[in-house]
Amino acid sequence: MKAVIMAGGKGTRLRPLTLNTPKPMVPLLNRPCMEYIIELLKRYDIHQIAVTVQYLPEVIRNHFGDGSQYGVELYYAEEETPLGTAGSIKNAASFLDETFIVISGDALTDFNLRAAIAYHKEKEALATMVLTQVESPLEYGVVMTAEDGKVTRFLEKPSWSEVFSDTVNTGIYVLEPEILDWIPDDAPYDFSLNLFPELLKKNEPLYGYVADGYWSDIGNLQQYRKTQFDMLDGHVDVAIQATEIEPGIYVEPDVKLPSTLPLKAPAYIGSRCTLHPSSKLGPYTILGRGNTLLPSSKLERTIVWCGNYIGEGAELHEALLMDRTVVGSFAQLQEGAVIGSSCTIGSNASIKASVRLWPHKTVPAKGIVHTSMIWTDPTAKPLFQSKGVIGIPNLELHPERASRLAEAYGSTLPAASTVVISTSAHPYADLLKHACSTGLRTIGIHVLDLGHCSEEVTRHAVQYHSGAGAIHISLLEQSSNPMMLIQWMDDQGKPIAKSMERKLENAFYQEDYPRTHWNQIGSYRNYSHANEDYLSVLESHIDFAMIRKANLSYVLHLSTEQEQQLLMQWTKLIGGTGLLTQHTHEPDLNVLEIVHHTHADLGIFIEDSSQLSLITPSGHILNDDQMIALIMTSIASSHPNATLGVPSSLLGTIPSSLKDGTLQVRRTKESLRSIMEETSGLPFSPFAYRLYALSLILQYMAGAKIGLDTLAEMNPFGYTAKEEVMCSWHEKGAIMRELMTWVRSSGQEAELMDGIRIQTAEGSVLILPDQDEPIFQVFAQSDSSAQAKLLAHSYASQIVQSHQSLRK
């Protein structure tokens, strides 16, 4: 049997390790990762191997040659331009004339390949995906299979709400040569994005084999470290080419260990290392070839490649050094520091946690490095959360980081594009805005600055001015720990797509995009009429004259003063009698009581850029179901042929008055982009434009001459109850798998659009892993509040049971 090792990846998330080294050549216990893959193939009598190469191919060729030194025959298939995972296999088609196995050269595994091949042949499959279970499936392709093993669903790099299992694609495939007919010649084509979805669509025999054993995709620096620690702990069945001189202590030949050297297992010491008797090697220290440790140096949980010099009294804790770096005496490298090749760290210098130095950098004596040199340090926390990029002001989100984010964003846009930028009314938001503006202009992007305005005004402005995108910066003050939020919008004012988020994130971490020539920088222009533009468009779609004629009285409560100017302009359009109240640091007045005692027609409560609540004259706050039903009723009266996207978690019973109408209501994923994409026939989505939603409701009240209390009682709205269940991040995928197994075994019908939606006789339930927090959200909808609460509690309890069963 033949095999293909895919070895063309750049490994950008492993930088600086992969700046001059292909990802398959990154060392694991002093040997390239790909050596372990070749040994695995040999273990199962596979000796004829094609190697697909594209990034720095000569490094791989020079090391492995024709493979004879390793007891195999190697055939190289080089891509002039990236062809994708499947396209690279097609590039080796002349070699592949029988059933073959595809495996990544940059992952470590001890899977029984013979068992996977036997399964493939037993199923008479065209393609078999080798699967495994992981703690966090977000970076992989989640796969679901039927009882007979046939793949029924495949989703590449899902969000948490799309994680239906913790069973993922390992990038190991057993394939028939006929599969090559499905792959175009000399064109980018991917297994996960193109080939497997096409096989599923055509109902071809695509199977999934869940393998036992160890598998680690060395996709980031944290996983790179953990994989080697797993090797030392014996979690993976691979050959360690060193002598185990005592339990957990591995030493290569040509090493003289001082008798007084304190060694704590597990540890690995490469050949020709020189260690002073007073140096200290703590657990999980890994040394490559030819390293020198001077007196009193101390290493713990640290990986050191080859030829490094570590000075007297230097301390390295959870650090990673590449080749030929000099660490001065008494220097300190803290947790997560990564030092590129040929760097110089001066004596008494301090490299702070998570800092990365690219090759050939110098840190002076007593220097303190807080941020990475040239590229910024990655964080275990995802760059994007559900609303955008969020961070603590002047700590996680500071001007330098904002500027680089804007540069990365600008690099993804067409040259000389215009980006609209705006902020809430806070000085620190202004500071970040100017940093973003500078970053954009450096890339050659023109900037249109709206000043202080709301999120919805910005969404309108980017379309109004034909911008390529927009950035809105605001301060979130709803908690005792204020956070900055940077939101990114496309040319239609929608939140940027997930694919664009990944593109921006890759550009941000790689920072290998060119800046423009100094005399071609982007222009900068202020624009102060965005509020008026937005309200003018509202006037063309809302009958404000009819609202003014109704002479409504209202209480308008603002949680902050950030949007006061826009709202004051809007109140002039609706007329009537208004009373403005605003949150202060003093105890709040009871807004419900003010509405009731002033005999106002309604109360309007605006909490932040997305929250809108209405208060009835009798002093009741409309719940989410009533608000949505009221919005649907208002739209049906003015835009009966429209289509309204509504998030699945909030869609309860459709009002009876609408059931025979032509308004189409579509359940969507929770993301605002999904909601906006499913809305048509309306000038704005009411979920993205609050003032539009509010104006529609007032127009309906005025036209129908119906008060808010009456409207709230007119239709048997559904009721929604919500519960939350805490869990750790790494257990989310496994819990979803347990839940799906339980749903199947209990015979319940489940819809897998966003989370798991289950229809019961009592109502519907949505189980949704939260995108930003380590929790599950359970939304239950029924015809009564009590029944909704009972449903929510019942399914939340099932999540707890699934969680507990995993820990047994």
Percent of the chain with pLDDT over 70: 93
Which segment of 192-196, 277-281, 288-292, 509-513 scores lowest on mean pLDDT? Answer: 509-513
Alpha carbon dihedral 387, 389, 392, 398, in 10-degree steps, equals: -150
Q: How far apart are CA 653 and CA 524, in angstroms?
A: 49
State mean pLDDT over 287-302.
92
User: Which pLDDT score is estimated for 378?
Assistant: 37
Tell whether omega for the bond before 266 is within 30 degrees of 0, i.e. cis: yes
User: Which pLDDT score is estimated for 737?
Assistant: 83
Inform me whether the pLDDT recorded for 680 exceeds 90. yes
Tens of pLDDT, residue by residue over 552-564, are: 999 988 766 667 7
**pTM reported for the whole predicted model:** 0.63
Task: For residue 589, give the DSSP letter.
Answer: P
Inform me whether the pLDDT recorded for 478 exceeds 60. no
| DSSP class per residue in 485-546 | EEEEE-TTSSBPPHHHHHHHHHHHHH--PPPPPGGGPPPEEE---HHHHHHHHHHHHS-HHH
Inform me whether the pLDDT recorded for 324 exceeds 80. yes
User: Which pLDDT score is estimated for 118?
Assistant: 95
Task: For residue 680, give the DSSP letter.
Answer: B
User: Is the separation of the CB atoms in 489 and 455 below 8 Å?
Assistant: no
Most confident among 256-260, 395-399, 548-552 (mean pLDDT)? 548-552
Q: Is the pLDDT higher at 587 or at 521?
A: 521
State mean pLDDT over 271-279.
91
State mean pLDDT over 720-730.
82
State mean pLDDT over 755-761.
84
Extract the tokens encoding 699.
Answer: 């127009």
User: Is the separation of the CB atoms in 647 and 668 below 8 Å?
Assistant: yes
Q: How far apart are CA 336 and CA 338, in angstroms?
A: 6
Inform me whether the pLDDT recorded for 656 exceeds 80. no
Residue 652 banded pLDDT, cuts 50, 70, 90: low
Please report how many Cα atoms fall inside a 13 Å half-sphere around the Cα of residue 312, on the Cβ side. Answer: 1
State mean pLDDT over 488-507.
92
Residues in the chain: 808
Inform me whether the pLDDT recorded for 734 exceeds 80. yes
Q: What is the mean pLDDT of the chain?
A: 87
Tens of pLDDT, residue by residue over 113-167, are: 999 999 999 999 999 999 998 877 676 778 888 888 899 888 776 666 666 777 8
State mean pLDDT over 513-533.
91
